[in-house]
Structure 1
Amino acid sequence: MQTQALSLTTALGHSVDAVASTPDDAEAAYVFAHGAGAGMAHPFMAAVAQGLAERRIACLRYQFPYMQAGSRRVDAAPVAHATVRAAVAWAQARWPGRTLLAGGKSFGGRMTSQAQATLPLSGVQGLIFLGFPLHPAGRPGVERAAHLADIDLPMLFVRGTRDALAEPGPYAETAQRLGGIATHLGIAEADHGFQVLGRSGRSDGDVMEELLDGVWAWAQAWRL
């Protein structure tokens, strides 16, 4: 696997760091945005990139401008969307001929889906959400999912069954509205960060393998 550190410049003039992981036999590529509280170097992000490479999927991880600047306040949607588009454009040029997928962890997945709903991301053939933040913790609702109805790409939602940001009722309602275009992978006993309690009898490593195998199987099933 080749690992490349690089910089991306958005249409709004922001420059952000990124890391591309390219297996020698890549069949697909995933543009992978981070969550609200941790950047692209978080162990979860790195583990996903490594695991996807082992499954012949290249990965581009990148920072949002607020994270690049060391701020705790997330970017406004137009800034985040422009960053998603810059990352997708780089990946499309770097990995031509490969199936191009996009999405992210929590906030990163939501910003990617909003960008796609506003104006389709060039070359992207499917979206993968790892812990889609359907609502704030303790405030169940489906308003954050309204834009998903404007997306006509296959979508994979990977959700821990203890995810406080996607409680069962709102999540089931969202799944029903989206119908067959969306696939849902439930990770038993995992929370929003895909961590499990010791009493579950499972390890975080077990969860990561289930998550990665599920992503690979979904891509194969859709023949992406």
Structure 2
Amino acid sequence: MRIETSAGPAEIELDRPRKPAFLLVLTHGSGGGVDAKDILTVREAALDLGGAVARVTQPYRVAGRRAPGSAVKQDEAWLEIVADLRKRIKKVPLIQGGRSNGARVACRTAIAVQARGVIALSFPLHPPGKPEKTRREELLDAGDIEVVVINGGSDPFGIPDAADAAEVRVIPGQPHSFRTGFDVIAETVTPWLERWSK
């Protein structure tokens, strides 16, 4: 399905049970897609708990670009996408998340969309080799909303500190794009999502 935004159309893959317990909205990294194995792992965990899952291909990717451009415009389009999805799936808790750049968007907009929590896969704490250019404040943008971070232990984009999120799970030896450890991702997000499945 497509949702029109001020930045162009977004494409949504929506898995919706008859009576969803919650809505989980997930998105990709800068040059990636919504079929990344870590995103699919989180999707499966949410579906097993009775959640509805919307995997969002953001407008810049639908348009064929690899970089998101302006963070302000990206966030504005995200708010429009989530508002549309909430009209379709009403009166359930909202959780949002993504991998890499998508995790940044989810953190930056969490308060504005009144999310109950954020799942941040491979949160890019800083550009590779430039730890002084930290993006820690984006994690903190979520305020009191719980953020669960899952990063690879060898991620050149860095690993957030335990104090920066409700939970920081590190998968040893994994780079920015996970090659293994999908069982750890499932084990981490399942109990956290369970609170909204009851």
TM-score, length of structure 2 as denominator length: 0.85
Give the Cα–Cα distance (whole angstroms) in 2 for the partners of residues 161 and 126 of structure 1. Answer: 23
Which of 133, 138, 147 in structure 2 is aligned with 1:155? 147
Q: Deviations over 1:151-198 (max 9, x none)?
A: 22111111122222124xxx33xx33x3xx621122233221121xxx
Identity in percent: 25
Displacement of 1:25 in angstroms is 5.8
Query: If each structure's helix is expressed as a fraction of its own residues, which one has the higher value?
Result: 1
Where does residue 126 of structure 1 map in the other structure? Answer: 117
- SS of alignment partner, residue 188 of structure 2: helix
The aligned amino acid for 1:122 is V
Displacement of 1:74 in angstroms is 2.0
Displacement of 1:220 in angstroms is 3.3
Indicate yes or no: 2:177 matched with 1:186.
Answer: no
Q: For 1:43-62, what aligned pairs fall within 5 Å after superposition?
A: 43-62=37-56
| Structure 2: runs of 5 or more not aligned | none
Give the Cα–Cα distance (whole angstroms) in 2 for the partners of residues 46 and 7 of structure 1. Answer: 20
Once the two structures are overlaid, the 10-residue window that deviates more, 122-131 or 146-155, is 146-155
Q: For 1:1-224, what aligned pairs fall within 5 Å after superposition?
A: 6-10=1-5, 12=6, 14-24=8-18, 26-116=20-110, 120-141=111-132, 143-150=134-141, 151-167=143-159, 171-172=160-161, 175-176=162-163, 178=164, 182-195=166-179, 204=180, 207-220=181-194
| Structure 1 residues 59 and 221: alpha-carbon distance in aligned structure 2, compared to 1, 3 A threshold | closer
RMSD: 2.4
Higher relative contact order, chain-length normalized (CA < 8 Å, sep 6+): 2
TM-score, length of structure 1 as denominator length: 0.77
| Structure 1: runs of 5 or more not aligned | 1-5, 196-203
| Greater radius of gyration (CA) | 1
| Structure 1 residues 216 and 90: alpha-carbon distance in aligned structure 2, compared to 1, 3 A threshold | farther
Give the Cα–Cα distance (whole angstroms) in 2 for the partners of residues 58 and 210 of structure 1. Answer: 22
Give the Cα–Cα distance (whole angstroms) in 1 for the partners of residues 147 and 106 of structure 2. Answer: 12
